[in-house]
Amino acid sequence: MDTGSECFFRYIGGDESGFDELIHLYRESLTAFVSGYVRSRAEAEDIAADVFVELIVHPDKFDPARGSIKTYMYSIARSRALDFLRRIKRGNETAISTTIDCNDTILDIPDLAHPSPEAEYITREEQTERAEALRSAMASIKEEYRTVLRLVYYENMSYSEAGEVMHKTSKQTDNLVFRAKHALKKAMSVQASDYSDKERLF
């Protein structure tokens, strides 16, 4: 049994410290995950908190036979984030984040880039430009593409675990990752082309 699930069942058995450890394990990562959907950290923190409330109010809904507590919590978080966006959309407001969190893990998605021998000498300015291009590219692709890339490459989930969060089979997730990487590479190419055009203007 994974650490998170063990903590949860300790809590169910009456050990309050189990829930405290569960919060310590997943609060920050859940908040970061939800931040990929909503416009502010405060809203992301509220949604992440709702996930823990759901565990308290409906602990019986978690079925360990269907996966780990981690994938269950991420599934709730994704559902709540999408519900939030739908409510905002009905109110004609904009809540989708334009600052997708892309760290070095995302930058190292296999097949996304082809490092040259000079890659180790890349300047800080070039790293910043690359990160900005990636953020823009991530923001331009479909929501499910962003989600699966974050789960697999940022949260280090297996295809099976990511599939549990997104309610897809492992094979469907495999195909989705392939399409997501292709879409991201295409978007990155557009970003690079736009950057080159701007350079020529100056």
CB proximity list for 138: less than 8 A, separation 6 or greater: 100, 102, 106, 146, 149, 184, 187
The per-residue pLDDT of the chain, averaged, comes to 79
Q: What is the pLDDT of residues 139-152, one digit of tens each?
A: 888 989 999 998 98
Question: Three-state SS for 68?
Answer: coil
pLDDT tops 80 at residue 120: no
Question: For 107-118, what is the mean pLDDT?
Answer: 48
User: Does residue 51 contact residue 40 with C-beta atoms inside 8 Å?
Assistant: no
Higher-confidence position of 101 and 138: 138
User: Does residue 95 contact residue 88 with C-beta atoms inside 8 Å?
Assistant: yes
Instruction: Tokens 């309610």: give the residue.
Output: 167
- Which domains does the chain possess? 1-97 (1.10.1740.10), 100-202 (1.10.10.10)
Closest CA to 22 of 43, 47, 4, 1: 4
